[in-house]
Amino acid sequence: MRGFLRIKLDTGLIIGTGLIYASYAKICVWEVIGIAKLTDKQIKIREYLKSAWNLSDRSIARALGVSHSTVGRVRKEMQKSGRFDHLSNTADNEWMNHPYIQANKGLLETLNPRGLRAIKNIEVLDYMQAHPQIKSPCVAQAYLAREKRQQRKDTRVTISLDDVDIRVADVRHVEQFDWIEDGSIDLCICDPPWDRTSIPICEGISRVAADKLRDGGSLLVLTGGSHLPDIINALSANKRLRYHWLLTCPLPQGSPASVSRLKIQSKVRFVLWYVKGTYDGDIVSDYINRPNSSSATDKTYHEWGAPEELISELIERFSNPGDTVADWTVGGGTTAVCAVLLGRKFIGSDVDENAVKTTLRRVRQLFGYAR
């Protein structure tokens, strides 16, 4: 059977003849073609409306430098498509009744989409009302976030010995970590050996961290450059963890960092940063100037001991007081000691029973025990 096939698109009406065997898939193709035919101006208006649906056509037109009638046409087409009904829902528009908005009604017409998103936050409006010298919601949002971060950092937390749990366990066997609640760790720091033997260890670190880290939590793995590609592959084997960034920090002066066969004299160590889900912490620099003293090579408690300056800096940057820090390769216990001193709970393990005993002794001494 033949006839007319009429498809309504955002850009107008397309009329054709042919068999009326148009499937849903074909209609979707026509819709994509219609969207592609939108002008740059119309696309800009659509994007603006997604974040500022409640503004008038004239307000949007002034902000974008277009005709208000064009804004009206684009709005109607979006409404007719049925895919943007949620934007016209006024149930979440409490912010529009805020006293600051009522006293500064003209402000909305001057904001870009980013500013409009920020000003819909009641806390931002409260902050702008309390600080009338701030006229930009984005600036108010930034100040508010900074104050909240500082409040978290300044929180005073009392840690007891009951907040520390360190056991003998092999990170290459994930079933040995059932004693730790899934999603209970905020930050995991590990410093495995810097040779090829660390590859299966890093695979285990990745698996355990994927289970035990909370969403948004970070895994930091200290390593050198000799086997960096293999270490990255091992840590990336578990898809629940996502590579986030590569941090660097200086090696202490006098460290045995020369690799003669490669003709390299290394001056930095690497910290591979992985995240479970989406990182929700503060902005951090990818260069950490710690340790910054030549006496930071203390190997008193373990031959691979990491500098306390560096570990403390990582803990402070990537966690807050009261958070739980973990280390599946505790070695001499540097991470455990730094975590407790900084007001963090600690969970750790090591395959070496002597390393666990050393770490427990060091932690107990922090609470006044002789051994």
Residue 107 pLDDT: 85
The CATH number covering residue 271 comes to 3.40.50.150
Total structural domains in the chain? 2
Q: What percent of the chain has pLDDT over 90?
A: 45
The pLDDT score that the predictor gives to residue 34 is 47
Instruction: Kindly report, residue by residue over 28-84, the tens digit of the pLDDT.
Output: 433 444 444 678 888 888 888 877 777 788 878 877 888 888 988 888 888 777 666
Answer with the residue of higher pLDDT: 262 or 164: 164
**Is residue 8 a part of any domain in this protein?**
no
Tens of pLDDT, residues 197-212:
889 999 999 999 999 9
Which of 153, 186, 208 represents a domain boundary (last residue)? 153
Q: Are residues 178 and 143 in the same domain?
A: no
- Answer whether residue 25 is part of any domain: no
Residues 180 and 102 in one domain: no
If asked whether residues 168 and 136 sit together in one domain, one would say no
Question: 3-state SS string over the chain?
Answer: CEEEEEEEECCEEEEEEEECCCCHHHHHHHHHHHHHCCCHHHHHHHHHHHHCCCCCHHHHHHHHCCCHHHHHHHHHHHHHHCCCHHHHCHHHCHHHHCHHHHHCHHHHHHCCHHHHHHHCCHHHHHHHHHCCCCCCHHHHHHHHHHHHHHHHHHCCCCCCHHHEEEEECCCCCHHHHCCCCCCCEEEEEECCCCCCCHHHHHHHHHHHHHHHEEEEEEEEEEECCCCHHHHHHHHCCCCCEEEEEEEEEECCCCCCCEEHHHCEECCEEEEEEEEECCCCCCCCCCECCCCCCCCCCCCCCCCCCCCHHHHHHHHHHHCCCCCEEEECCCCCCHHHHHHHHCCCEEEEEECCHHHHHHHHHHHHHHCCCCC
Q: Kindly state whether residues 258 and 339 are assigned to the same domain.
A: yes
Are residues 208 and 336 part of one domain? yes
Reported as a pLDDT band with limits 50, 70 and 90, residue 301 is low
Q: Which residue segment(s) compose the domain that 282 sits in?
A: 161-367
Is residue 22 included in any domain, yes or no?
no
- Chosen domain end from 119, 153, 187: 153
Domain check: are 190 and 243 in the same one? yes
129-140 average pLDDT score: 92
- Same domain as 240, residue 168: yes
Within this chain, do residues 252 and 229 fall inside the same structural domain, yes or no?
A: yes
Q: What's the pTM?
A: 0.65
The pLDDT score that the predictor gives to residue 148 is 80
My answer on whether 148 and 165 are in the same domain is no
25 or 371, which is more confident: 371
pLDDT at residue number 298 = 56
Regarding whether 58 and 175 lie in a shared domain, the answer is no
**Does residue 182 sit in the same domain as residue 237?**
yes
Residue 94 lies in a domain: yes
Q: Give yes or no: residues 221 and 80 share one domain.
A: no
Q: Is the pLDDT of residue 340 over 70?
A: yes
pLDDT digits (tens, 9 = 90+) for 163-197: 999 999 999 999 999 999 999 999 999 999 888 88
